[in-house]
Amino acid sequence: MLTVAEREQIRALGREPDAVESQLALLRGGPRYRAIERPCALGDGILRLDAAAQEAAIAAFDGSRFGAFVPASGAASRLFSNLGDDVVRRVRELALWGTLGLPDDSSPDAIRDALIDRWAAVPKGLIPFHPAPEGYCTAIDEHLSECVALGVRSAHFTVGPEHLGAFKQRVAGAPVDVTFSVQDPGTDTVAVDAAEALVRDDGAILFRPGGHGALMQNVEDTRFELALIKNIDNVVPEALRGDVVRWRRIIGGTLVRLLAQIRGLYSDLMDEVPGAVERAARFADQDLAVDVPHDRDALVLLLDRPVRVCGMVPNDGQPGGGPFFIEGSRVPQIIESAEVDPEDERQQALWRSASHFNPVDMAVALTGPHGAYDLERFSDPAAAIVTRKTHEGRSIVVLEHPGLWNGRMARWNTVFVELPRHVFQPVKTLADLLGDGHRST
């Protein structure tokens, strides 16, 4: 599909022509949608833990060692878009106000311009979110404080290469071991135009970042055995952190307890202990929501996978993914709206009927009976997302790798646990910082 000249150009960029041809095949095949069977619900794919189970999970978490993994390379441009006068007038109530150097009687237009000039090009992780005695706390500051409260000693953040120095400066002297990585440029993907030809910039093939699914190698490279994963903008000030920390301990501890069961059953299967097949099959059905044959070899393969416990909050219309059972998979999945056929009314109705929403708050186990997993083995490459974007005024078709918590974890053992809605406090717009979830007074 590529010309000799194109293959040479791609090699000169340190990329593999065969990988680009695979991307082109996906792009030219058009969008690939997932077929929803039904949403997960309480008692059908989502657990609601009673008080005893919560306390047992907390005890299990407190005896374990987790690292934290936080994708933090997102820009803050959306935070400062569509700034209405009603929000801008209240900026004086936020930690951001003290960074602008404006007189108190500044007009909304002056405040709006100052916000955009000072902060719109800064990554969200370095934006002042909350006031603090020393000035303000950024999103990354709040994540590190949360790690301390959890007893997590290591935190890893993925950042843009152009901002790496600023992040390192911000975390200097942190009470947590902090490491950083950048998204591998080799995971960037090509795009095609309306004629299905490669999109170019000044004659050069355009490569675009391939979405957060490209970060799976970054996750693997941390060498964490256990990790807590959460988005950079979902933090609260210290005074409101108690329930957030409690429920993250519950998620992590639920994973630890689940792993103990899995490893015990795996050992019994390998040792051919009488009754092990029946116990493992019952566990798969009742605890993993997986229908698997009552066959020793099938159960051994099932239990030798990465494991994740994902928090799910009641759905109040937030954009993003949700928990579903889908056709062709025995494992509950997190599905994004872009993965659902917009022209299929039945699929859209199933999508809208979801009772719960994915806040990206999860605990994961990256090692198994034989050591660290090659996580790519448990991905579903067919779950790549093909969608339309605009580039320099042109409509183009772009490819994103299977999402980090979608297709990249499609073949993980997965358990969904209900969280209370108030522990999810993302900052998508400036107005969110004015909400009760970010104001401690």
How large is the average pLDDT for residues 193-206? 90
Report whether pLDDT(158) > 90.
yes
Instruction: Count CB neighbours of 441 within 10 A.
Output: 5
How large is the average pLDDT for residues 96-104? 96
pLDDT in the model for residue 134: 83
Q: Is 205 helix (H, G, I), strand (E, B) or coil?
A: strand
In this predicted structure, which of 21-30, 34-43, 236-245, 351-360 has the lowest mean pLDDT? Answer: 21-30
Q: Is 242 helix (H, G, I), strand (E, B) or coil?
A: helix
Fold of the CATH domain 31-76+139-438: Spore Coat Polysaccharide Biosynthesis Protein SpsA; Chain A (3.90.550)
Report whether pLDDT(387) > 90.
no
Task: Write the CB contacts of 65 (distance below 8 Å, at least 6 apart in sequence).
Answer: 153, 225, 226
Report whether pLDDT(190) > 80.
yes
In this predicted structure, which of 10-14, 33-37, 321-325 has the lowest mean pLDDT? Answer: 10-14
pLDDT tens-digit profile of 207-217?
999 999 999 99
pLDDT tens-digit profile of 241-291?
999 999 999 999 999 999 999 999 999 999 999 999 999 999 999 999 988
Tokens 């993003």 -> residue: 320
What percent of the chain clears pLDDT 90, i.e. is strictly above it?
85
Domain definitions of the chain by residue range: 31-76+139-438, 77-121
pLDDT in the model for residue 440: 75
pLDDT tens-digit profile of 389-398?
988 888 999 9
pLDDT in the model for residue 341: 95
pLDDT in the model for residue 117: 95
In this predicted structure, which of 5-14, 87-96, 160-169, 295-304 has the lowest mean pLDDT? Answer: 5-14
**Rounded distance, CA 394 to CA 391, Å?**
5
What percent of the chain clears pLDDT 70, i.e. is strictly above it?
100
Q: Which of 141, 188, 142 is nearest to 161 (CA)?
A: 188
Report whether pLDDT(202) > 80.
yes
**Rounded distance, CA 257 to CA 307, Å?**
12
Read off φ and ψ for residue 322, nearest 5 degrees: -150, 170
pLDDT in the model for residue 94: 96
Q: Is 334 helix (H, G, I), strand (E, B) or coil?
A: strand
Helices 139-150 and 241-270, axial angle in degrees (round to 10): 60
Report whether pLDDT(441) > 70.
no
Greatest C-alpha distance within the chain = 79
pLDDT in the model for residue 351: 95
Q: Are strands 333-335 and 367-368 parallel, antiparallel or unpaired?
A: unpaired
Task: Write the CB contacts of 169 (distance below 8 Å, at least 6 apart in sequence).
Answer: none
